[in-house]
Amino acid sequence: MFKDREDAARQLAAKLKGRPLKDPLVLAIPRGGVVTGAVLALELGAELDVVLARKLRARHDPELAVGAIGEDGEEYLADYARSVIGVDDEYLERERAHQIAEIDRRKERFRAVRPAAEIAGRSVIVTDDGVATGATMLAALHVIRAKRPYELIVAVPVAPPDTLDTLAHHCDHVECVLKPTWLGGISGFYGDFTQVEDDEALRLLRDYRRPAPDR
């Protein structure tokens, strides 16, 4: 159990501090992931930015991800997606358009605060406040991998082992603090899981300053 997202990020950072990193960059998935990401980046002496990816929701269960789409338009569709009731080509087309519109809205706001960071040749750490199915994280990884990072690391406070195994096939390293076999919901592993609004995520991104390297 974590006290809050900041506590989770500090515990996560402790697991990464012994790892050599090349000009590290933490990419957070908004919105809750920006809180985790800001603390993680500060602890690791890394640059902070966001990666914009959205899950594609099931028609009758918005919490169920049947896929995801990244800010470059690349899409990941779960192998079970079309077996979910109500998920067909027509529905996916509407859901895709809706999530692309939301990504474009966020891109306009977040990129006004901080231009996209350079990714090529760097140790890139992708984080969120927790992962369930991993669909959104997978979309983010596909977007980032295409930009040729030196290494691609997934670092999250909590995720089920099967999801972590899937993510491991799409990155170079996975780090996680809690690995429950039954997740239920991410919020159940936090004492305080207050919803993070856009304004808070934007403030964290705008105010973040990378620590000077130790001499």
User: pLDDT (tens digit, 9 = 90+) per residue, 27-66?
Assistant: 999 999 999 999 999 999 999 999 988 889 999 888 788 8
What domains, with CATH codes, occur in the chain? 5-206 (3.40.50.2020)
Q: Is the pTM here over 0.85, yes or no?
A: yes
Q: Give the per-residue pLDDT at 173.
A: 97
- Distance from C-alpha of 211 to C-alpha of 73, rounded to nearest angstrom: 33
Q: Give the per-residue pLDDT at 93.
A: 94
What does the pLDDT average to over 184-199? 93
- Distance from C-alpha of 198 to C-alpha of 32, rounded to nearest angstrom: 9
Question: Among 62-71, 79-88, 128-137, 167-176, where is mean pLDDT lowest?
Answer: 62-71
**215: pLDDT strictly greater than 70:** no
- Chain-wide mean pLDDT for the chain? 92
Q: Give the per-residue pLDDT at 185.
A: 86
Q: Give the per-residue pLDDT at 139.
A: 84
What does the pLDDT average to over 112-130? 95
Sign of CA dihedral 138, 71, 9, 65: negative
**71: pLDDT strictly greater than 70:** yes
What does the pLDDT average to over 78-83? 88
- Distance from C-alpha of 82 to C-alpha of 66, rounded to nearest angstrom: 8
- Distance from C-alpha of 152 to C-alpha of 147, rounded to nearest angstrom: 11
Confidence class for position 154, pLDDT limits 50, 70, 90: very high
**208: pLDDT strictly greater than 60:** yes
Q: Give the per-residue pLDDT at 75.
A: 83
Q: Virtual CA dihedral for 102, 109, 113, 202, nearest 10 degrees?
A: -70
Query: What share of residues in the chain are helix, strand, coil (percent, to 5)?
Result: 40, 20, 40
If phi over 0 gives left and psi between -120 and 50 gives alpha, with beta otherwise, what is residue 108?
alpha
Q: Give the per-residue pLDDT at 214.
A: 66
Q: Give the per-residue pLDDT at 74.
A: 79
Confidence class for position 72, pLDDT limits 50, 70, 90: confident
**207: pLDDT strictly greater than 90:** yes
Task: Find out whether 71 and 103 touch, Cβ atoms under 8 Å.
Answer: yes
Task: Find out whether 76 and 139 touch, Cβ atoms under 8 Å.
Answer: yes
Phi–psi pair at 66, nearest 5 degrees? -105, 0
